[in-house]
Structure 1
């Protein structure tokens, strides 16, 4: 027993040493107290106020792994299964409902190791800017007077900003390890929401700028990791396409075939280039693609491009959320005037008296990334019949309760009464308003995954009619629900889609930039394969 006690004591001591070593290396040990509080606040972890540094560090230590190192531990089973599937990891049917089993599989499939994650948080400035657009980087440089030589390439912008990062923070009297709001001073609220939309993180219905900044900061690491993963995959596909372009194929091609390949793959060929020079250009471009000198940046092209190709690539990279924006624009083409006005009203956008439908629609599109107000009359719009009836019963508003008690009241009747009762409570303020917003918060949270599930066919048709959406003859109940969810999502969130995971959304966003390049490479690769087969037959 004494021997066992000794072994246990040594084991516990060893564990304590390891834990102490890890804790001493944790990034947040060097953070200022305001940064500790900021991280806890960003991740919605309550902390006592006032609290001393030790209390804050202990609280972060308890949550650090689940939020900073292995954030997937906070995901639900569906998110875990979706990620593992995207990585080609098979999950057993029995494990799909077992979160612990899925989490255990995640450790080997996750983007980075624990050590790499720990290191990353000790040098935030090395990656937090990578998900910014070129215009955001330029705006930051201009605001802080950072001289950037022309032409202002993305790599140069990043290098110059990183070199001045700590100086800017100190000049502003701010900290830089876990940056404060100073980092986003040059961003508008629409810029913040657009970043969230682009990278697949649902922006809540808030107008609080600080809250939007917190969401961007909190999700920056995950957005960076996903973007790196997508870029690596794109480079691998590009390399695979060019692998078929052997020296023998290049030598077997004639001038017209080589020029065709260059044209399809955006390779610039100077006027008067001779055949051997043309082959050398193709070989060099192949080396650029296959070698290590290809930039992983979403703003860098795969090799030199003609002006036509360059313009196409720039169009894709300058607006990585183009696909989502176009989908939103298409959806609003059918919206009724009342629905367009409601969208703008929910976001506090002033509407000129007598504005025409086309003018309203243009205004909606210009505000596609603007966050909506937390709660207003429109928030009741997609609550179920039962939700509305329950609120009316608890509202304390006699007129509303009368409507709610009526057995003949339709959902539209209940909605109108709920909106009226809420408006009255909002004007009165105090307890009735607090009660209304509290009920809305609970009802909308519960309804996130079940919105429209209990609606009847007539209710769904009436809801879609409020958008001006025609219902095709013979539409099934599920099709009506799907269309209602789509319109509701666009109305609440603009271009973003809260039903999709961050992974699927980022993949959608990078496809505009990479899919174009890859399609060009694939086109050239097909030519290469065909010529390789012809050359083989001639041997």
Structure 2
């Protein structure tokens, strides 16, 4: 076994037995300056009004997350952090913040909302730091083509976290108004009633901050307020535009953003009208057709029921995929009608019917971005939502099981380390090859599925 391979795989084995949190009371005797220094050294914002007790509480809350994470800790945190970025916490209410912090091991999240946001952001910073660290460690293990493929597999989740963690927008350069002269900014703010005509002159930084509320927050979609450079940066971060390619023109950038932009908090029903929401709930027997329900309640009902609805679950399966699955699992008579296929799948495979895969609620733009990032060429992207979901499901299963399979090997009864490492190596290199093959075949996958589906129908109905 090559030393580089041993180093890379040991990241997983070492983490398998590591504990999540440690404890310490080292900071109990620290003075106020020492507490502030520790917080500043760990890039944690310190409100000027905080007392020594509040500072100590902030250190305590961040103590574990500021220490180096084990791989096991990082892998366990993926589900919570993969769909977030730092700015997400600013939009959360106290209840959601406390719930999130409890999930991260903060036993009693206390303090005002401002402190909860700071604490959540520090946890996120620790996660992204761990992502970068493990990605870098994986990169140092590169030794030949095989090790390179292993590096790609081992760092794939870290790369996903990096893509989602887009940096904060800079008022001075990232908005369309960032290049406006001060007078133009001032006139716009006066016109919108944000500034009084006789108001004292404000500094440029203050004007730009006011523009963020008056201009950027009222723009729909949000990226319409972004500069060309920041739109390009977002597209590069999400693997839509190549970093070394010439900067696209404004109209091309906007077309790409329109096709692929999403916020991590966006859901497929986010743009639905009240009528759309109610129609879905009625069709899925959640409410009666004559029910009088306000929008907030309609949205909450959708959130609670969407992923478990039959239509939602089976929309991610094509007719041919269901036929193939049923034939492979011993069903000799397979119906041609989708309604009957769904009923048979429901009865045959309950685990599929009760899935809670988060991609089922993603808007179409996020599904497109995910597929592009997972090797599907833009020309092969499905044009319908069911098609997008079906292609996403295939790749989702593949990427979500890689490290789970590694942990199964590590925790198995096989005692010989070399044998374990060989099993992991074979699994990862096979995974990398499978990913490359999937990308190569993406353009004609739909055609092959259709042909195979027709053949299975003929076999099942006795026509062959």
What TM-score do you get using the length of structure 2 for normalisation? 0.34
Higher relative contact order, structure no. (Cα contacts within 8 Å, ≥ 6 residues apart): 1
Task: Tell which structure's C-alpha radius of gyration is larger.
Answer: 1
How does the TM-score come out when normalised to structure 1?
Answer: 0.30
